A and B are shown apart, each in its own frame.
Chain A
Amino acid sequence: MATTSPPGVGLLKGLGVTIKQMFKPAVTQQYPHVKPDLPPRTRGVIALMDENCTVCMLCSRECPDWCIYIDSHKETVPPAKEGGRARTRNVLDRFAIDFALCMYCGICVEVCPFDALFWSPEFEYSEYDIDKLLHEKGKLREWMDTVPPPPALDEGADAPGEVATAIEKANQELEAAKAKAAEEARAKEQGEQAPAAGDAAAAAPAEPEVKAGEIDQETFDRLIAEGKSERIARSKAKAAYVKKEKQRLKEQAEQQAAAAPAAEEPKVEAGEIDQETFDQLIAEGKSERMARAKAKAAYVKKQKAKLRAEAEQAGGGDAVEAPAAEGSGEAAAGEAAPSAAPRKADIEVEGAGEIDQETYDALIASGKSERIARSKAKAAWVRKKKQEQMDAEGDA
């Protein structure tokens, strides 16, 4: 009983702890009444986007529990061109996951190369009969409706590879179109022998080549003011000019590109439902919720089918191979655009120590600490360099 404080103080303190706790909110989750707020990456159930599946069997092979069952058959697709070779294609007959065996390791989702498997946070699918835990293709497809959109990218992060390549492709097309237009204009110019000043002015900014002799006066002045030698200042200012011009051109192109592909993107509105299916299900006595969900799925499926049919008509056999996944907003872009240009990450940039002065100044001006500004500016510099190299390669 060798206590420093008088006896009984500890007892009173203990009472204080419990009475304080009594007036704090409880941590209990009223689960069946209040659904838990689960993070988007929750491993609840695995959903299947069966249109994306190419029956590569990777998931099934990697599954540690062997709980994925896949059946398929091959179909011969007629040649795309007259006299071409007929191709074969795997058609998915059965895709089932036995959730009684599944240990939710997520390897199947990781290995899927075609974005056909997703995690859904839905977890309320317990059954009285263990057999019912074997979810077949249809049920796995239904889970797809519960997959949340992927978390937003960090601010200032590089665009995902597939998006970057899509932009790249759009840029190339645009530039090709411009080049064509310029050629036509030149032809016209040559033909008419009367250069229209307006046309030339309009074409000038579209010119992807940047005149090398120009310097960026602003940069030049600043550098001189900083006490750099004229030679250095001039060269840097030249570089800055080129950079700026490129940036401007790129932005322009991106704006145009953003407008262009949006129109042709075969997008399916997620909110729509298939009225026919809905009515039918309601007539069958299903609950409205279920009918609505199924009708939604049916609508998406139909639209997809329609799009695929269109694509097939338009592009012949080859188009079938291109996954028609654009339907679901999130699973979208995907592998649609072939990677024409190397990805940013593959480009090596020398001189990682440099910083992008512009970014740095802007960040300092917005009140960031020097350390942060410096590191961000460094990153911005690297990014710009990469962009330049890519542009250069693209031009080449």
Chain B
Amino acid sequence: MSIAEMANAAAGLAQFSPAPSLLEIGDSFWLSAVLKIAVVLAVFFVVPLVVGYMEHKVMGHQQARLGPMEAGPHGSLQLVADGIKFIQKEDLIPSAADKWVFAIAPGVAMVPAILIFLVLPLGPGIWGVDFELGLFYALAVGSVTTLGILMGGWASANKFSLIGGLRAAAQLIAYELPLILAGIAVALQAGTLSLVGIVEAQSTFFIPGTEINLWYLFPQILGFGIFFIAAMAELARPPFDMPIADSELVFGYMTEYTGIKYAMYMLTEYAGMVSMSALMVVLYLGGWQLLPGVPMPGCGGSGNIFDCNALGVGLGVAVTLGKIMLLTFLMVWARTTYPRLREDQLQRFSWLVLVPLSLLNLAIIAVAKGVF
């Protein structure tokens, strides 16, 4: 039970009734909390590793290489080995660095990345909290990561780090706008900011006058494109990796970081890929719904994708993770295909292309919503 729920209960304002999470254990607040934290942390630490491995292999094969092959069968434990290596490494802090800021910066970047997972629905009933402001929460918390990157860039006492940090900040501010505007269009169409509510709205969205169920991907294909590009830029993924830009900035804000702190930054990036993909799955790809209009086996409720039995839950989680992997694969694909943009091209693209387009998208959706 979140603070918001408590407040709602206290005020007698119960118009928004959060969908129950399957992770609740009876009425016990603390046990449920521990379970939810465990699930969130497990997802946070495992799924990004899978995505990272997928990236290694996909990039390898797209570049006529094999990718990792030694650690585990076909290198499947490569990232585990990397993690062990990072833990063993000496924790270097440059003598001119601002030690405290330097030390806490990766944490400031990583904690919001963990917190986002709290509201992401991974399957029917598999979410930490069905927060009324879920979408806004995810985007708001995600914006704090910028602070951690900026801190790390400045505290390293390294000009490359500083430039990287500044670029990261400029980029995140520039692309947060189209990201949020595209998200708002979805919220507008769904009539709710709750992520579970958006999934439900998609499962019950029909083309006006017909019985054909559609995901928001189809009416909002423009919004999806904007969100996808902005998400890649938010995560500083190539071709938008100017904050890291290893050919010009060594490694940007991560230049001076080693060992576990560096691993935290990297984990933040990959967890960001997962959480952004999960957001896109929820906003545009119908959450855990198998295909538009297809009821989930073993499920009932609204759109036939709620109130599931064990089979439905397992299948739902698998579908969500599959969609996440598909979207992260697209990100990796773009990474191997396109060269890095220039910093001014990046800014121009955001302010002159994506922001007007996302405003246009918002206007179209608003008008359509009013008409139908």
Touch between chains A and B, by CB atoms below 8 Å: yes
A residues with a Cβ closer than 8 A to B are: 11, 14-15, 17-19, 21-24, 26-28, 30
Q: Is the CB of B66 within 8 A of A26?
A: yes
Residue of B nearest to A32 (CB): B70
Which of B7-15, B56-64, B293-301 binds A? Answer: B56-64
Q: Which residues of B contact A15 (CB under 8 A)?
A: 333-334, 337
Q: Distance in Å from the Cβ of B305 to the closest Cβ of chain A? A: 32
Q: Is the CB of B66 within 8 A of A18?
A: no
| B64 near A21: Cβ-Cβ < 8 Å | yes
Chain A at the B interface: SS class: helix
Q: How many A-B contacts are there with CB distance less than 8 Å?
A: 35
Query: What is the minimal beta-carbon distance from A7 to any residue of chain B, in angstroms?
Result: 11
Cβ contacts B85-124/A at 8 Å (1 or 0 each): 0000000000000000000000000000000000000000
Query: B338 → chain A, closest Cβ, in Å?
Result: 6
CB distance from B157 to the nearest CB of A (A): 39
Asked whether B69 is an interface residue with its Cβ less than 8 Å from the other chain, the reply is yes
A30 and B65 CA atoms in complex are apart in Å by: 11
Bound complex: CA of A30 vs CA of B62, how far in Å?
17
With A and B bound together, what is the CA distance between A21 and B63 in angstroms?
Answer: 7
Determine whether B336 belongs to the interface, using a CB cutoff of 8 Å to chain A. Answer: yes
A26 to B60, CA, bound (A): 8
Q: Which residues of A contact B66 (CB under 8 A)?
A: 26, 28, 30
Q: Which residues of chain B are within 8 angstroms of A22 by Cβ–Cβ distance?
A: 58, 61-62
* Given A15-B333, A30-B69, A21 contacting B338 (CB threshold 8 A): no
Structural contact, A28 and B62, CB atoms closer than 8 A: no
Residues of chain B touching chain A, judged by Cβ–Cβ distance below 8 Å, are: 58, 60-66, 69, 333-334, 336-338
Q: Is the CB of A18 within 8 A of B336?
A: yes
Which of B58, B60, B65, B337 lies in contact with A17, CB distance below 8 A?
Answer: B337
Complex Cα gap A27–B334 (Å)? 22
CB distance from A367 to the nearest CB of B (A): 41
> How far apart are B58's CB and chain A's nearest CB, in angstroms?
7
Q: In the complex the two chains form, what is the Cα distance from A162 to B62 in whole Å?
A: 54
Residue among B62, B63, B338 making CB contact with A19, cutoff 8 Å: B62
Alpha-carbon separation in the docked complex, A18 to B335 (Å) = 10
Q: What residue of chain B has the Cβ atom nearest to residue A28's Cβ?
A: B66
Interchain CB contact under 8 A, B64 and A26? yes
A27 touches B69 (CB 8 A): no
CB-CB nearest in chain A for B338: A14
Tell whether, in the assembled complex, residue B64 and residue A24 are in contact, meaning their CB atoms are under 8 Å apart. yes
Interchain CB contact (< 8 A) of B338 among A11, A24, A27 = A11
26 A-B residue pairings within 8 Å (CB atoms): A11-B337, A11-B338, A14-B337, A14-B338, A15-B333, A15-B334, A15-B337, A17-B337, A18-B62, A18-B333, A21-B61, A21-B62, A21-B64, A22-B58, A22-B61, A23-B61, A26-B60, A26-B61, A26-B64, A27-B64, A27-B65, A28-B64, A28-B65, A28-B66, A30-B66, A30-B69
